Amino acid sequence: MKKTPAFNPTVLLAAALLIYPLIFSGAFYLDIGVTFLLAAISASAWNIVGGYAGQVSVGHAMFFGLGAYAPLLCYTLFGWAPIVGMPFGMALSVALAVLIGIPTFRLTGHYFSMATIAVAELIRIYFGTWDLVGAAIGLQGPATARGWWDLTFRSELPYYYIFLAVLAFLLGLTFMIERRRFGYYLRAIKAGERAARSLGVPVQQTKIKALALSAAFTSVAGSLYSIKTGFIDPESGFGILVSVQMVIIAALGGAGRLFGPLVGALILIPLQTATNTWFGGGGTGLTFILYGGIIVLIARYEPGGLFDLWEHVRPRRWRRKHAA
Amino acid sequence: MLLEAEAVSKAFGSFFAVREANLSVVEGEIVGLIGPNGAGKSTFFNCLAGDATPTGGRIIFAGQNVTHASPERHAQLGIGRTFQVPATFEGMTVLDNVMVGAYLRHPHHNDARDHARQIVELTGLSTQTDMAAHSLGTPGRKRLEIARVLATTPRLMLLDESLAGLTPTELQEAIGLVRKINEMGITIVIVEHIMEVIMTLALRVLAFNQGHVIASGKPEEVVKDEAVIEAYLGHGRHKHRSRSA
Amino acid sequence: MLLIQVIVGGLLLGAIYALFSSGLTLIWGMMNFINFAHGEFVMLGMYVSLLVVVWLGGGPAAFGFTAAFALFVLGVVVYLSLIRFVLRGPMLSQILSTFGLALLLRYTAFWIFSANFVSLPQTSLSGTINIAGVLMPVPQLVAGVIAVMLTFGLHLLLTKTTVGSQLLAVSEDRGAAMLMGIKPDRMQALAWGLSAGAAGIAGALMAIAYPWSPSVGETFGLTAFVVVALGGFGSVPGALFAGLIIGLIQGLSAFWFGPIYKDIVVYALFVALLWLRPQGLMGKA
């Protein structure tokens, strides 16, 4: 069905995101907005390798954490503006991605997933002992801005628009990939590796590229996080909850769909904020019981997430609407 | 000689699934592989396709030694295959399935799509272009697999029981399609149980049993071969079997 | 002398690792499936033991059997309600199913029991024994020895009994097994029960000798992965040797480098294995 540009959902969404902070300008709402964008960026990055290519990483926090530590480390060691550390984080993440991908992508999917947990945990525990990166205490960013380049803002508004720009860029890139050979190859790998090979798809290489790309952007998300928060420690960088959040957000909305992670974040971030507020300290525990339950339900009933659920439900409504 | 398999063996431990099988295929031919289940023809077929690595012998394609080459390499060189149980990309549309194949020789999106459309047209799938692969029945999926492989512009196509489970009308259409593909200049090696397919399409036939090639030649001759008949109907037909009281 | 104690201690702990890892390897070998919640099964076995002691005043035999039985049932239920369906599905489903289950179990345990470390009240097994000059805590000794016996017992069950050969038949060739009248679904449910039961009783044994909290599930899960990777996926004898080796390596790492390194070394070993020898010591990749 062709829709006139005024009702194009993508345009509407973009408009909504752009004007959101102008309408909901309180610090509380702004914070949710920023958290939402960050979650959408990480989950969209995960989506490239986990959703499109079907290689389920449950330890993506390793890339997030590296990206989060790099800027603050550069600041702490050399006094540089934290943003300068972002490319270093990306480079490290890409290197790590290749290091993990080469041996594990030759084996069945489960090996890769197990390896991602093991490596993320390994790094988390190690960073907790490593004085250079602040051990268990972690690192901090500049307390007050020395200049605009420190990106230390008192209001969250500038962060909101920076993150929105990054999200737009990532989604735009993903959209382009979807329409090109790389995207088709990713989907073919997910749908049937053996068949993909027989058609000349360079499966090993493609998976590694997907993981590297995903790692790079996850690292960016991590950098943005630590620059905004001004703080990082092993748990907030490499903790399993970081990995879980990425996975559940992408999977709930629809893994392998362009806007899947966005939809997932739209639902889960407010939900998470609500349960944290209502249950106070016990909230985080309850939130993750809920997450666990949601993940199991998705796995059992609708692995394609809400987008797939919508498509299964929609034909019936369409038929009823157009009957007789 | 487009394809030469010389004394190809595939052993799993001490069990030989294929034992010293030879095959020479001239460009433009259609060759059939027959034999009862477990005879080794599928394993041999997988060796030709690069899905299995022979433990003995070698396979030469267009002058290149492909004995240890990966399936991807096979595709690049121009060897394509279908799967006995259709392995179409279920969640993707017919066109997208074929495009994955088309991208091998047409890296750019528009070229790939145009080429894929042509192939979809050629294989009679145009009415289903935008349907998801999983909504096609098994005959549709088998046809889609053929289209997908065709899109890789192969020189040699290995068809693994691609014509099984079809109604008589569908079978005739499929036979016509295979013939059309062959007339485009593509060499075909086909594993098949359906005699009609073998008799009408194949110029030459190889019969397998217990890992060996037990007969080869024109279809009419091979089908009448004693060893072949015995293989299908069970060994021991001419032997005495000791029975416990 | 201290070194010998560390070695023995490591081996005893490794024996328990071997026991619960053999359950994981059984499932892998049979269904090409990894249970990401396996560590949580062990953790639950530990808490079940605690509850039996605290509520029912039961001794080791009581809570041992209860843990084994309760987890056996849980394993079968998980298979029938969840695993059976995702086995046929995409990889995302398969991985998320037990990963989500792990979170569910782990955080429910946090919620019910809090994050505090607990241990069993003094049981009849306590004190230390002096064997040839080496001082060994009785609980650890008993737990380790029983663990070895049970792992060996599982191996015998699989290789020497009819049920065992039926299980192995399904893992070798589903189709052929079906033709022989074996019901794969039933066998797979049984395998899940055995796997979880082994984890449960390993938890009970663990509880006798070591303190714990809900967080141990994650560590045990990863340890099980490493043991299974080292021992060869699908091989129970492999899991036994690998478990002992991993326990030993852990003990020595803690002794030489410090307690925080005991997990780091094990995880690093896992990564090294993936690079160098994914099929492990004695199994199919």
pLDDT, tens digit (0-9, with 9 covering 90-100), for B221-234: 887 887 777 777 66
Write down the pLDDT at residue A317.
Answer: 60
CA distance A84 to chain C (A): 30
Chain length of chain A: 324
Q: Decide if A56 and C95 are in contact by the 8 Å CB cutoff.
A: yes
C45-93 residue pLDDT tens: 999 999 999 888 888 888 999 999 999 999 999 999 999 999 988 889 9
pLDDT band at B190 (very low <50, low <70, confident <90, very high): very high
pTM of the full predicted structure?
0.91
Does residue A104 sit at the C interface (CB-CB below 8 Å)? Answer: yes
> In total, how many domains does chain B have?
1
Instruction: Look at the alpha carbons of B129, B133, B136, B141 in this order and tell me if their dihedral is positive or negative.
Output: positive
What domain range is B37 assigned to?
Answer: 3-88+153-233
Numbered residues of chain B with Cβ closer than 8 Å to any chain A Cβ: 49, 51, 70-72, 74-76, 80-81, 83, 87-92, 96, 99-101, 103-104, 107-109, 112, 148-149, 152
Does residue C178 sit at the A interface (CB-CB below 8 Å)? Answer: no
Secondary structure (3-state) at C273: helix
Question: In whole angstroms, how far apart are CA C185 and each of A300, B155, C24, C95, C162?
Answer: 17, 44, 18, 20, 17
Computed on alpha carbons and rounded to an integer, the radius of gyration of chain A in Å comes to: 20
> Which residue from A217, A208, A242, A205 is spatially nearest to A93, judged by alpha carbons?
A217
Closest-CA residue of C relative to A289 is: C104
CATH 3.30.470 assigned to domain C2-110+136-276? The reply is no
| A127 compared with A108, residue with greater pLDDT | A127
Q: Decide if B89 and A194 are in contact by the 8 Å CB cutoff.
A: no
Question: In whole angstroms, how far apart are CA A58 and each of A241, A247, C274?
Answer: 10, 7, 17
Which residues of chain A make contact with B152, given a CB cutoff of 8 A? Answer: 199-200
CA pair distance A231, A53, nearest whole angstrom: 33
Task: Please name the member of B71, B103, B107 whose beta carbon is closest to the beta carbon of A198.
Answer: B71
Write down the pLDDT at residue A316.
Answer: 63
Say which amino acid occupies A207. Answer: K
Does residue A314 sit at the B interface (CB-CB below 8 Å)? Answer: no
Write down the pLDDT at residue B245.
Answer: 40
Write down the pLDDT at residue A6.
Answer: 56
Write down the pLDDT at residue C123.
Answer: 66
Task: Look up residue B9 and give its two tokens.
Answer: 């063996």
Residue B79 forms part of a structural domain: yes
CA pair distance C139, C143, nearest whole angstrom: 6
Write down the pLDDT at residue C58.
Answer: 80
CA pair distance C41, C199, nearest whole angstrom: 6
Task: Look up residue C182 and give its two tokens.
Answer: 């074996």
DSSP H or E stretch at residue B79: strand B79-81
Does residue A289 sit at the C interface (CB-CB below 8 Å)? Answer: yes
pLDDT band at B241 (very low <50, low <70, confident <90, very high): very low
Task: Name subunits touching C (3+ CB pairs < 8 A).
Answer: A
Residue B75 forms part of a structural domain: yes
pLDDT at residue A280 is higher than 70: no
Secondary structure (3-state) at B4: strand
Write down the pLDDT at residue C285.
Answer: 43
Write down the pLDDT at residue B240.
Answer: 42
Which residues of chain B make contact with A181, given a CB cutoff of 8 A? Answer: 103, 107-109, 112
Write down the pLDDT at residue A288.
Answer: 86
Write down the pLDDT at residue A91.
Answer: 98
Residue B135 forms part of a structural domain: no
So what's the ipTM on this one?
Answer: 0.89
A38-76 residue pLDDT tens: 999 999 999 999 999 999 999 999 999 999 999 999 999
Does residue A312 sit at the B interface (CB-CB below 8 Å)? Answer: no
Which residues of chain B make contact with A179, given a CB cutoff of 8 A? Answer: 109
Write down the pLDDT at residue A183.
Answer: 97
Residue B147 forms part of a structural domain: no
Write down the pLDDT at residue C4.
Answer: 87
Write down the pLDDT at residue B186.
Answer: 94
Q: Decide if C275 and A103 are in contact by the 8 Å CB cutoff.
A: yes
B136-176 residue pLDDT tens: 988 899 999 999 999 999 999 999 888 888 888 888 888 99
Low-confidence ranges of chain C (pLDDT < 70): 123-125, 281-285
Which residues of chain A make contact with C114, given a CB cutoff of 8 A? Answer: none
A206-250 residue pLDDT tens: 999 999 999 999 999 999 999 999 999 999 999 998 999 999 999
Count of CB atoms situated within 10 Å of the CB of A204: 17
